[in-house]
C-alpha cells in the first residue's frame, strides 16, 4: 500500500512568486492534514480536511495560503505571494478516522529567497 506522498520534495522560489504543494493521502483516508515546521521550530498544525470539507483551518497563518481538496482525494496548498518567512518544511498527513493514527508524508522543503 502506498503511503502519503508529497510533491515536490524541494522547491526554491523567489519572494513574490507562487508555489503549489501537492499531497496524495493514503487511499481511503478521508482525513487529510497540513502541518509545517519553520526555522527549526516545532511542527505546527495548518488545517484539516474531512473529505473535501475544511474541518479546521485555524492554523493557516494568513490569506496568502490557500488549501484545496477537490473531490476529496489529493490536496494542494498554494502560497501566493510567497514571503521569506514561509520557508520551512510542509508536511501532509492522513488518517482513516478522525481520531486514529495519522501517517505522514516525507514533506516538501520550501525555500523562499
Strand partners, 111: 12
Binding-site string for another protein from residue 26 to residue 45, where x marks contact by CB under 8 A and - marks none: -------x-x----xxxxxx
Q: Exactly one of 21, 26, 79, 105 binds another protein (CB under 8 A); which one?
A: 105
Q: What secondary structure letter does DSSP report for 25?
A: P
Binding-site string for another protein from residue 46 to residue 85, where x marks contact by CB under 8 A and - marks none: --x------xx-----------------------------
Place of cell 485555524: 58
Q: Exactly one of 4, 19, 67, 77 binds another protein (CB under 8 A); which one?
A: 4
Which C-beta is closer to another protein: that of 22 or that of 81?
22
Query: Which of 79, 81, 100, 88 is CA-nearest to residue 33?
Result: 100
Which C-beta is closer to another protein: that of 43 or that of 60?
43
Provide CB contacts within 8 A for 110, sequence distance 6+: 11, 13, 19, 21, 79, 82, 86, 87, 88, 89, 90
CA distances from 75 to 39, 67, 71 (A): 24, 7, 9
User: Contact residues for another protein (CB under 8 A)?
Assistant: 4, 33, 35, 40-45, 48, 55-56, 91, 93, 98-99, 101-107
Amino acid at each position: 500500500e502506498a503511503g502519503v506522498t508529497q510533491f515536490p520534495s524541494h522547491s526554491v522560489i523567489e519572494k513574490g512568486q507562487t508555489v503549489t504543494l501537492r499531497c496524495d493521502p493514503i487511499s481511503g483516508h478521508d482525513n487529510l492534514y497540513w502541518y509545517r515546521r519553520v526555522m527549526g521550530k516545532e511542527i505546527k498544525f495548518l488545517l484539516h480536511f474531512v473529505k473535501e470539507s475544511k474541518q479546521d483551518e485555524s492554523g493557516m497563518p494568513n490569506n496568502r495560503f490557500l488549501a484545496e481538496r477537490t473531490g476529496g482525494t489529493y490536496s494542494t496548498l498554494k502560497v501566493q505571494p510567497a514571503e521569506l518567512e514561509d520557508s520551512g518544511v510542509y508536511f501532509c498527513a492522513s488518517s482513516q478516522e478522525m481520531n486514529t493514527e495519522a501517517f505522514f508524508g516525507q514533506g516538501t522543503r520550501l525555500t523562499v529567497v
